[in-house]
């Protein structure tokens, strides 16, 4: 058996957003530095973890993935319970996935603690030639809603580490 790792904090983070925006792949990139071309839509996986050091404290990020329940209002309150942070993901090539971000923010406000730190992620930044959402629109929405914002690519890995770290550091700052 592995010796129990002593961590100072466990931060629960939820990943939300429309189906197929890349939530599961972002998680795989951050927790295992992996992108799976063969992966099917998420079934039943609850969460993945990665332990890292933040300001000399060991923080275990426990990151929850939706189990294909991305339809509006299908994600249960148990999913949000105790979450300190959220990654709200849209796909920069699919306008509708960005238009739905407002609904996801409503969901968060209905279920989550008001101190929850939220990061809006425009994923698939590698597909910039197919861009359907200007970064400025997303930045403006994020500003209005009090969210952090970054574009990223689970495929190339661009900005993934940075975005998760930013979220964890912000959570660290509020706990
Ligand atoms: P989820 O339903 O939000 O969990 O989405 P997935 O992580 O299953 O990804 C949906 C599809 O988008 C899959 O075909 C992935 O290979 C693809 N995908 C995910 N992230 C990226 C990315 O950063 N770039 C590109 N080009 N494709 C991606
Ligand atoms: Mg998924």
- Other Cβ atoms within 10 Å of 68 Cβ, number: 15
Is the CB of 21 inside a 6 Å radius of any atom of ligand 1? yes
What are 12's strand-pairing partners? 62
- Centre of ligand 2 from the C-alpha of residue 155, in Å: 14
Which atom of ligand 1 lies closest to the CA of 66?
Answer: 4
ipTM confidence score: 0.99
Encode pLDDT of 40-53 as tens digits: 655 555 799 999 99
Encode pLDDT of 141-161 as tens digits: 999 999 999 999 999 999 999
Separation CA 6–CA 25 (nearest Å): 28
């Amino acid at each position: 058996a592995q010796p129990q790792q002593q961590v100072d904090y466990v931060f629960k983070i939820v990943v939300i957003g429309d189906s197929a925006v890349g939530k599961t792949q972002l998680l795989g990139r951050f927790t295992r530095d992996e992108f799976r071309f063969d992966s099917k839509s998420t079934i039943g996986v609850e969460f993945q973890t990665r332990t890292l050091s933040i300001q000399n404290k060991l923080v275990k990020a426990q990151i929850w993935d939706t189990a294909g329940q991305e339809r509006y209002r299908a994600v249960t309150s148990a999913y949000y319970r105790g979450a300190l942070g959220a990654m709200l993901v849209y796909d920069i090539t699919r306008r509708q996935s960005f238009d739905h971000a407002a609904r996801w923010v409503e969901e968060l406000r209905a279920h989550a603690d008001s101190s929850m730190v939220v990061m809006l992620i425009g994923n698939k930044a590698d597909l910039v030639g197919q861009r359907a959402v200007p970064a400025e629109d997303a930045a403006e929405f994020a500003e209005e809603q009090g969210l952090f914002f970054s574009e990223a690519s689970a495929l190339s890995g661009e900005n993934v580490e940075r975005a998760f770290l930013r979220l964890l550091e912000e959570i660290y700052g509020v706990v």
